[in-house]
A = this chain, B = another copy of it.
Amino acid sequence: MKFIEKLRNSGLRPTKQRLQICEVLFNTERTFHFTINELEQKIKDKIDNKISLATIYNTVHAFEKKGYLKQIPVNSNQTYFDTNITDHHHFYNLKDGKLIDLENSDVGPINIKRKIDGKKIKSIEVLVKLED
């Protein structure tokens, strides 16, 4: 199985739970955005055994640290994650709290002219809030 290698190469043991979460997160036609609650539901729908909520949190954080998931900065009581780890930007639909990927060509290059010394830029993220 392809995910076993991926996990081993990251120093993460390929446990049953992690492999199942990999299936849900990465064995998909397209990338997607999710909150932990939504992921918990997806997992319940797709697998038969139970995975504890703590393991879901642990795994998501482990995957994020390894760079397999990204957190999206939005104002919400829940944390949003993205399986699309390429540099890209987002529409945020205030009505339903859903994120939509923006292609870089939809936004154009962003060139930050100001520098803060001793610091380097880790990421540049654009959030475009949508209303009716």
Interface residues of A (CB under 8 A from B): 71-75, 79, 91, 93-94, 100, 102-103, 105-108, 110-114, 116, 118-132
Contact = CB atoms under 8 A, between A and B. Distances in A.
B119 A123 contact: no
Given A71-B75, A125-B129, A127-B127, 20 more contacts: A73-B73, A75-B79, A93-B119, A102-B114, A105-B113, A106-B114, A107-B110, A107-B111, A107-B112, A108-B111, A110-B126, A112-B128, A120-B132, A121-B128, A121-B129, A123-B128, A123-B129, A124-B129, A125-B127, A126-B127
Contact of A125 (B111, B121, B123, B126): B126
Contacts of A79: 75
Nearest to A124: B128
Given A73-B75, A75-B79, A114 B103 contact: yes
A102 B115 CA distance: 10
Contact of A120 (B102, B120, B131): B131
Nearest to A105: B113
A122 B130 contact: yes
18 contacts: A73-B75, A73-B127, A75-B79, A91-B114, A93-B116, A93-B119, A94-B122, A100-B116, A105-B113, A106-B112, A107-B110, A107-B113, A124-B127, A124-B128, A124-B129, A125-B127, A125-B128, A126-B127
